Amino acid sequence: MKLVVVESPAKAKTIEKYLGPGYRVLASYGHVRDLPPKDGSVDPDQGFAMQWETYADKARQLKAIADEAKGAEALILATDPDREGEAISWHVQEVLEKRKALPAHVERVTFNAITKAAVTDAMAHPRGLDEDLIDAYRARRALDYLVGFTLSPVLWRKLPGAKSAGRVQSVALRLIVDREREIELFRPQEYWSVTALMEADGTEFQARLVRYNGEKIDRLTIGEEGTALAAKRAVEEGLFSVVSVDTKPLTRNPPPPFTTSTLQQEAARKLGFAASQTMRIAQTLYEEGAITYMRTDGVQMAEEAVSAARRAVASRFDAGYVPDKPRHYATRAKNAQEAHEAIRPTDFSRERAGSGDHARLYELIWKRALASQMASARLERTTAELADGTGQHALRATGQVVLFPGFLALYEEGRDDAEDEDSRRLPRLRDGDTPAKKQVTAEQHFTQPPPRYSEASLVKRMEELGIGRPSTYAATLQTLKDRDYVRLDKNRFHPEESGRLLTAFLERFFERYVSYDFTAHLEDELDDISGGRMQWQAVLEEFWRDFKPKTAEVMEQKPSEITAALDDFLSPFLFPDKGDGSDPRLCPLCGTGRLGLRGGRFGAFVACSNYPECKFTRRFGQAGEQSEDSGPQVLGQDPESGQDVTLRSGRFGPYFQLGDGKEAKRASLPKDVPAAEADLDMALRFLRLPRTVGAHPETGKEIIANLGRYGPYLQHDGKYAKLASTAEIFEIGMNAAVAKLADAAGGGGRARGSREPLKLLGPHPRTEAEIKLMEGRFGPYVTDGTTNATLPRSVAPDQLTLEEAAQLIDERAAKGPPAKKGRGRKAPAKKAPSKKKAAKK
């Protein structure tokens, strides 16, 4: 019997079916061991020796693999065909060797698609482990460990509130922060456009003013309303006729099949998927045998796939849509050893696979791959110029006509920017034609700042700069969101206060290590390792030689010195020029103190130099907001006490205050309530919290609505229920409150909020019970309604598959119900330490 090891149970099930008797296929469930998160896991003084530790939750699976390996005649390592796959195979081999369970004959096989033909062919052409790829994996893992475990303690001690930094994640964060700085420094410029709506042969089209009073008009030429209205009148009064028509043929070639990066970009544009969601769905499609391997930077397809695509095009359309010669695309991968075949369907005759999001992503992959082998689109671009009788004023209309759609009949690549005027349709125009003028408009515009990054545009920019590798982008972006360094608003990245402060700290004290060029150069060196052109320890030694002393130097600085340096570095952002010659650091409350950056237990904030006499503070992220520099804003007087009710700004945001002094009552303004809408009535309602909804009809005890640290909630008899919004605190009635408390109690009394599942994974393959992914007190877990199984640390919730969830539930059920507290055999009591007898009184 031959033992085959793969990563996932779904892949194992499919491959075992293809191989038949004589083979036993087991899954490792991803990586089986890693560097333990503690000091000393990588020892630079011992040639960067690494201490690996087996995942506790993989012990059962490794035991099953080791037991089978002891009786196997050969071990076949069939993990994914990339660096991570090679690393998993190496780890499995190392673990089996330590357990003295490694068969004498070990083979490594790779296949780009989970089809019978691909698997059978791979089994016929085994090889040994690729030591260069394993060295590249070790170098990357050691680098990430050394950066994280050397830099993070510096952050914790010198930058309160910072959580972690990473070799690639910090550079990706800098991209987002740099774009935000560009937007803040941008000054819009006014300009006007004059456009005429014309009609010819029953077809309307737009023509833009390009010459006025004999002068050429560019985009920003008309800068004020008076000139725009004068130009509009000139167009309205003139009789315009066509003076020239320029027609040029245009050919558009299809884009190549997807790589990992382009798949993430296009799925974000067309389907609205996050990068992590795209990769999770693609992983499932790959394991089901529907598509080829989804972590690749190659754009070429196998010859048999090209032939199959051309046949599919001919049968779906006609011979005219098939190019004379097969299309071949050149890969842009920096390292050919890591460039595999592009992402494509394993069967071009299969137009659908899966359902829901899986079907949508498969269709995108199928169309893109098929279009890559279709004929070019032939278009005609037309530019028509119209002039009035004087020749002093001219309009221009542009557009294009599709003569032959070619690949556009099936697929058109998405775009991040808006449609341009060249893509509009024009009627057929001839010299001397006088189209009807229907309407003339003069529109005001302002130049726009560069747009914030979407997931698609950020992935594209990272790939252009050579930062990280496409296969890691999804995890990198997810980490930034999980650490609360950024937030996604309308699918665009906004840096949070903590992200801006961390980036400033790294730029000020570790500028080299967050520079784009350095990070890209390091990626090139790691690629050279995987290509066998560099020695991995030499690359680590060169990095560590400069990095270690730099972290030691920063660690020796006092927190006050760090804060002073950041205050100076961030001065243009924290205290921008007001434009009136006044001091931007002058305290708006006392009028004599100067504002400066301060470090606190919960992060950085801005405070007055006259503290404690002046208690003015401002949140770090509210720099430049004029409303924050106005001091306390009096909203009115409390009708009961006659004291002033004020809106103030503190280190943790805006808040209401009743009266003055240390004993003054305060209430925070929640994030979902705009400060601009704050008035006396709102302030009094928040200051009078908690609100009593009434007596519970069953218990007679009061139901309280209040605002807590984690948001709005209900409280009754020691039980809690989460409210959907702040407004519900003041609006919820008795019936709705009782219903919400009952829903919360349905979760066993532990849930303080909704018991809605994070995700429905589908029916259990064996019991047909619906499996749900839930959020629990101690982290995410899966349940089939009878058995709950906690997710291991090594399994990301957004990448969990149905098969993995079913396996976790089966393993948990096999262990039996958990022991109840206070039942069973009592633990032996510890012997108390002997005490000296007290002297008799």
Query: For the purposes of burial, counting CB atoms within 10 Å of the CB of 386, is it exposed (0-12), middle (13-18) or buried (19 or more)?
Result: buried
Determine phi and psi for 692, rounding to 5 degrees: -90, 120
CA distance 146 to 542: 13
CA distance 408 to 200: 27
Identify the active-site residue in 55, 145, 293, 655. 293
CA distance 286 to 78: 14
Q: In the numeric block, which tokens belong to residue 169?
A: 């994640």
Q: Per the omega criterion (within 30 degrees of 0), is the bond before 257 cis?
A: no
Q: In the numeric block, which tokens belong to residue 62?
A: 């490794």
- DSSP state, residue 781: E
Reported as half-sphere exposure (CB side, CA atoms, 13 A), residue 698 has a value of 8
Kindly compute the dihedral angle of the four CA atoms of residues 832, 834, 839, 840, in this order, to the nearest 10 degrees: 50
Residue 238's SS3 state is coil
CA distance 322 to 301: 16
CA distance 145 to 166: 9
SS3 for 745-756 is: HCCCCCCCCCCC
Query: For the purposes of burial, counting CB atoms within 10 Å of the CB of 243, is it exposed (0-12), middle (13-18) or buried (19 or more)?
Result: middle
- DSSP state, residue 376: P
Determine phi and psi for 418, rounding to 5 degrees: -80, 165
CA distance 806 to 766: 9
Shortest CA distance to 374 belongs to which of 255, 523, 228?
Answer: 255
Q: Per the omega criterion (within 30 degrees of 0), is the bond before 9 cis?
A: no
Kindly compute the dihedral angle of the four CA atoms of residues 544, 545, 550, 555, in this order, to the nearest 10 degrees: 70
Residue 646's SS3 state is strand
Which ranges in 450-510 belong to alpha helices (H)? 455-465, 470-482, 497-509
SS3 for 359-375 is: HHHHHHHHHHHHHCCCC
- DSSP state, residue 100: T
CA distance 109 to 18: 15
Residues in Cβ contact with 286 at an 8 Å cutoff, skipping those fewer than 6 apart? 113, 114, 292, 293, 294
Shortest CA distance to 758 belongs to which of 743, 778, 780, 787?
Answer: 780
Q: In the numeric block, which tokens belong to residue 56?
A: 């506790």
Kindly compute the dihedral angle of the four CA atoms of residues 402, 408, 412, 413, in this order, to the nearest 10 degrees: -90
* 454 close to 306: Cβ distance less than 8 angstroms: no
CA distance 738 to 683: 27
CA 156 to chain centre: 24
* 58 close to 795: Cβ distance less than 8 angstroms: no
CA distance 781 to 206: 58
Give the C-alpha distances (Å, rounded to integers) separating 22 from 18, 19, 213.
11, 8, 87
CA distance 563 to 549: 21
* 607 close to 616: Cβ distance less than 8 angstroms: yes
DSSP bridge pairs for 780: 775
Residues in Cβ contact with 63 at an 8 Å cutoff, skipping those fewer than 6 apart? none
Q: Other CB atoms closer than 10 Å to residue 624's CB: what's the count?
A: 14
Q: Is 473 part of the annotated catalytic residue set?
A: no
Question: Which residues does the annotation mark as catalytic?
Answer: 293
